[in-house]
A and B are shown apart, each in its own frame.
Chain A
Amino acid sequence: MVYKILTMRTKHLAFSILFVFIALIIGGCRKEIPLNIDSKDRKIVVNGILIPDSAVCINLSKSSSIAEKDLNEYRYIENANVGLFENGILVTHLTSTNNGYYKSDNDFRPKAGNFYKLIVEHEGKTASSEFFLPKKELNHSIDVKKIRSYSFEKDDSVVYSLKIYISINDNGNNKNYYCISFGYPVFQNRYYGKDLPISQIIIYNSKFTLYSPAVEFSNFNYLNDDEKLEKGIYGQFVYFSNELFRGQKHNLRLETNLSPFYVKEGKDSATFYLYISMIDENYFRYRKYIAEYDNDDDFFSEKVQIVNNINNGIGLFSGITCIVDSFSIAINEFPSMLIQQ
């Protein structure tokens, strides 16, 4: 990784020099020119993620032409007719709350393993989209090892870490898409040090390193001669398909640092959560493009196009089926962890 960073630095340095001289040769000129874009055609923008057994909430807005003024404004749609269909049957209307949010008028909760279709009608335009909410049929197992090691970077202090071994048995029926995340509850307000009321306790997604022969954070269907090499991915979510292990058992290892501060004062253990999600292909592609879009800071890189699965509109209507595992570590386990240097 260090070499790669140095390589990048030197390549950019060399090209910076090159560009300076080319710029000197050619003497540049910049001027504003008119944008020849029709600024009247605004599309319906849909953002909706369905989760089994959870309340339905989507957001509707309008797109803006790039040539328009006041692009900083959010153009929410508040008076649309929105219908949600389950396997072709209308199950609920969604009604506007505020800021473009629409919620089910009968507290409808989606179920895994069904097709969902959304139809939005607004000012004579109709946008629609549909997807399949993955079934909750994930067959997996986890094993956790706790490691104590020395960190040279932190004044030779002792560092505790977790190695979590995950086995996923892919059903092989379809092209499946997975998401893995790891988290811990935060009991205190980070800024004020006060205990949070239970209703505000949330799970923060921890940063972790994932080792897997089949997962590459920025390129999820990666295939090459070195695919058996383990790769480190540092992030909060990883997304991957079953392309390399379709119908097979797949092993991953996840590592994260551990701190006794995760244990709530007065408690004798800390609880950690592992999320393994099966996601719809549209959402997988959306995340993939978001990741590439966010990394699109190289002038020479090809422009990334955001995924769109809305007919006659823009946005994403998709779903996530998640399974959560949790495990606890007693505070008195920390000193006795395996030592690894």
Chain B
Amino acid sequence: MKKKILAFLLLSLCSQLIFGQRYTISGTITDASNGELLPYSTIIDSVSKKGTLANYYGFYSIKLDKGPVKIMCSYAGFNPSIISFNLTKDTTINLTINSTTEIEEIVVTSSTNKLRSTQMGLVEIPIQETKQLPVLLGEADLMKTIQLMPGIKGGTEGTSGIYVRGGGPDQNLILLDGVPVYNASHAFGVFSVFNSDAIQSFNLMKGGFPARYGGRLSSVIDIKMKEGNNKEFHGEGSIGIISSKLTLEGPIKKEQSSFLISARRTYFDLFTVPITMAASDGKNVGGYYFYDVNAKVNHKFSEKSRLFLSFYTGLDKVYMREKSSYEGNTRKNEAGTGWGNITTALRWNYILSDNLFANFTGTFSQYKFFIEEESNNSNNNDFFSYQYNSGIVDYAAKIDFDYIPHAAHNIKFGTNSIIHTFNPGVNVQKENGGNNNIDTTFGNKNIYATEISSYIEDDIEFSPKFKANIGLHYSFFSVRSRTYNSFQPRLSGRYLLNNNIALKASYIQMMQYIHLLTNSTIGLPTDLWVPSTPNIKPQEAWQTALGTEISLNKGYSLSVEGYYKEMKNLIEYKEGASFFSEKDDWEGKVVQGKGWSYGAEFLLSKSTGKITGWIGYTLSWTNRQFESISFNKVFPYKYDRRHDIAIALTYKHSETFDMGATWVYGTGTATTLATEEFNGYDTFFDNFNIPKLSGAYVHYYENKNQYFEHRNNYRMPAYHRLDIGFNFHKQKKWYKRTWSIGAYNAYNRQNPFMLVLEKDYESGQNKLYQYSIFQILPYFRWSIKF
């Protein structure tokens, strides 16, 4: 098979020598307003009808026949740029395009790209659209917005955790400027860590992953930070109910280097500190906050060489301080818990030739969770401190190449190496006073692992109608003197029935060497990232999908995809185990099993005109089977929802007013609930053949046990919610001001967060209680942009 593929590639390369004289047009595509490179723009020659996609870094290269060409460059949310000339030699053209917010003409949308691309399961939403849609507490949130797309389910109400085509929350590769982010949530997931003001673009792939991506089973979420305006100084900021943020960007050296810095902080603690102080006569103080900072600088050494440095840090912190006095003796106690990520990427883009592009990247990623407590006594110097730390640290180096030898080939290849350090939980305790003098460290040892991967893929245009992406991803993982490796073929193809209808199919295999140890009730920051070890095998999956993209009139498009996915070596806590249980180390708390999911996704979207948006519907099934959970019975995954509907609409009435609304409906999530009670007996046996005593007999001591058929045997009530928001804009002398008001859960539906069965011991009857968290939540936000 491999030999056949290589032979085909060689034949294709030779074909360019046989056919007519061709030249290469190459260059970069940038946003005219700020000089930022635009990823995955479309370039089409309307004369020859040939086209290509720019890469992630805005570089494109296309080989065309000698003669007149008419190049049209387009990008979602931007007006197309058209240039005509006579092609007589290899030519470099750096194209710039204008966003539609500035020039009201024809809007070219991503539907054209999706129709022509071999990529399946791709979700792209313009950042501007995420800001127009109503959101929880007025915080525009990418992770919330993508939950409105078919095949992507949100977890527990309000959380940012996502479940793609029946996969777990750890099976999503979330990349911020190419760096994995291990915990994408603030405030238990009520908000994501991605500040939309600092984001240039994002897309999500839920299937048909090209070979360049690896390491996760279910999705890739690729988020690109803004690079900073290299032409003018600009800024934007906003003040909301619970947070404020400010973003500044501008040239360091005009059209050569630029910077961007964006910061956000909540001020919930400004309200809680006085409340807790008042409630405790000034003795206790407690609060919660989170912040995050995004920063990026880039420098253009030449048209061929660019350097980027991007940085992100964020922290959530809950704290409590307590002071007590008794007979002149003062005791202070401080306790808190926190979690946060730090990511850094240093990237160098170099255009080696008009058809070869190279990218060198070094990255650092850290996720840390901690608990700390400290107390001391002023009188006798008694001192106690305790710290718990867990997390993961990655250092990685990556080289990627884009090679476009022919108009019909777009070859990508590269390699990536990651050094992981896993800290599954270490406790440090110091105690001084009385008879106790303790200074000790205990818990799980750090685990070191190396992950190396290489890939090659080719986007091959066999004919104007048929195009395929064929690739191979190889990965290797070494931990505790055990190695795992795998070859993962990736295939996806597109067949154009006509200019408006494309049929698509894909088959992929994936391997994941790291696992998130999480409980099935709620995602917590305590969730541990742990590696595969000699005892814990890597997760594996294969997925196949079949679908169609249809471009309809008036900016409408329809996408239908069916999929089947199998996963094995999934990880779950054993029955009775949790993060808090201390009877085992983490490896002793988990079991591995398999899962499978299948379904169909429908997406009708409209991307032009005053009303834009989409309607998504998903029909799906996802199940799990673990030998030591529910006695090997098949049980539904917690987020097995048969029906999911999402409607997201924005209406732009004028330059000064727009509004958005979303409505979601989902079958109730699965939960474990006892369905029967029965007499259980704690058998107490004694007197076995004891001399002089009567013969053996058995005592039964009665107690009531609860019975359920299998895990996740009960369905919560269905979930549905309407959000609505209005934005009022006004151009002032120096800035543009926006007032945003709206409501989350506008008709105040009490959606289930969890169910609790409680027994009334007097009547002997059980009652089922539903806990809801978010009722109607109005919001407002004042924003400026200058």
Mark A residues whose CB is within 8 Å of B: 3-4, 6-8, 10-15, 17-18, 20-22, 24-37, 43, 45, 47, 49, 51, 53-55, 57, 59, 61-75, 100, 183, 185, 198-199, 201-203, 205, 216, 218-219, 222-224, 273, 275, 289-290, 292-293, 295-296, 298-308, 314-315, 320, 322, 324, 326
A201's nearest neighbour on chain B, judged by CB, is B693
List B residues 687-707 near A (Cβ within 8 Å).
Answer: 687-690, 692-698, 700, 702, 704-707
B674 at interface, CB cutoff 8 A: yes
Q: Are A13 and B335 in contact (CB under 8 A)?
A: yes
Q: Are B676 and A51 in contact (CB under 8 A)?
A: no
Within the complex, the shortest CB–CB distance from B750 to chain A, in Å, comes to 6
Q: Are A17 and B580 in contact (CB under 8 A)?
A: no
* A70→B524 CA distance, assembly (Å): 38
With A22-B187, A49-B685 in contact, do A17 and B577 touch (Cβ < 8 Å)?
no
B769 at interface, CB cutoff 8 A: yes
Within the complex, the shortest CB–CB distance from B530 to chain A, in Å, comes to 14
In the A-B complex, the 10 residue pairs with the smallest Cβ-Cβ separation, listed nearest first, are A292-B576, A72-B764, A301-B578, A54-B696, A14-B337, A63-B678, A21-B288, A300-B578, A26-B773, A14-B371
Q: Are A302 and B573 in contact (CB under 8 A)?
A: yes
For the A-B complex with A59-B679, A299-B521 known, give 18 more contacts whose Cβ atoms are closer than 8 Å.
A7-B582, A17-B286, A18-B288, A18-B318, A22-B288, A29-B772, A29-B773, A30-B772, A33-B770, A43-B678, A47-B700, A53-B695, A57-B697, A222-B588, A298-B580, A302-B577, A305-B708, A315-B680
With A28-B773, A30-B770, A54-B698 in contact, do A61 and B188 touch (Cβ < 8 Å)?
no
Category for how many chain B residues contact A: 35 or more
Q: Are B388 and A11 in contact (CB under 8 A)?
A: yes
Task: Among B187, B442, B522, B687, point to the contact of A202 (Cβ < 8 A).
Answer: B687
* A203→B268 CA distance, assembly (Å): 61
B201 at interface, CB cutoff 8 A: no
B583's nearest neighbour on chain A, judged by CB, is A218
Q: Are A25 and B268 in contact (CB under 8 A)?
A: yes
B555 at interface, CB cutoff 8 A: no
6 A/B residue pairs, CB under 8 Å, sorted by A: A35-B768, A71-B704, A218-B583, A224-B587, A224-B588, A301-B578
With A3-B440, A28-B772 in contact, do A54 and B695 touch (Cβ < 8 Å)?
yes
Convert B760-786 into 0s and 1s, putting 1 for each residue whose CB lies closer than 8 angstroms to a CB of A. 010111111111111100000000000
Mark B residues whose CB is within 8 Å of A: 158, 187-188, 190, 268, 272, 286-288, 318-320, 335-337, 371, 373, 386, 388, 427, 429, 440, 442, 519-522, 524, 535, 572-585, 587-588, 629-631, 672-683, 685-690, 692-698, 700, 702, 704-708, 710-711, 714-715, 717, 750, 755, 757, 759, 761, 763-775
Which B residues are in CB contact (< 8 Å) with A25? 187, 190, 268, 288
Q: Are A303 and B682 in contact (CB under 8 A)?
A: no
* A290→B680 CA distance, assembly (Å): 10
Q: Are B678 and A315 in contact (CB under 8 A)?
A: yes
Which B residues are in CB contact (< 8 Å) with A18? 288, 318, 337
Within the complex, the shortest CB–CB distance from B525 to chain A, in Å, comes to 9
* A275→B697 CA distance, assembly (Å): 15
Which A residues are in CB contact (< 8 Å) with B687? 202-203
A45's nearest neighbour on chain B, judged by CB, is B678
Q: Are A26 and B158 in contact (CB under 8 A)?
A: yes
With A18-B318, A49-B683, A218-B583 in contact, do A306 and B705 touch (Cβ < 8 Å)?
yes
Task: Among B679, B690, B693, B764, point to the contact of A69 (Cβ < 8 A).
Answer: B764
Which A residues are in CB contact (< 8 Å) with B335? 10, 13-14, 17
B320's nearest neighbour on chain A, judged by CB, is A17
Task: Among B575, B675, B770, point to the contact of A303 (Cβ < 8 A).
Answer: B575
Q: Are B765 and A30 in contact (CB under 8 A)?
A: no
Within the complex, the shortest CB–CB distance from A23 to chain B, in Å, comes to 9
Q: Are A301 and B577 in contact (CB under 8 A)?
A: yes
Task: Among A21, A30, A63, A296, point to the contact of B707 (Cβ < 8 A).
Answer: A63
Which A residues are in CB contact (< 8 Å) with B774? 26
Q: Are B695 and A55 in contact (CB under 8 A)?
A: yes
Which A residues are in CB contact (< 8 Å) with B427? 3, 7
Within the complex, the shortest CB–CB distance from A59 to chain B, in Å, comes to 6
Within the complex, the shortest CB–CB distance from A225 to chain B, in Å, comes to 9
Q: Are B764 and A71 in contact (CB under 8 A)?
A: yes
Task: Among A59, A62, A75, point to the contact of B700 (Cβ < 8 A).
Answer: A59
A29's nearest neighbour on chain B, judged by CB, is B772
Q: Are A300 and B519 in contact (CB under 8 A)?
A: yes
Q: Are B685 and A66 in contact (CB under 8 A)?
A: no
* A64→B690 CA distance, assembly (Å): 39
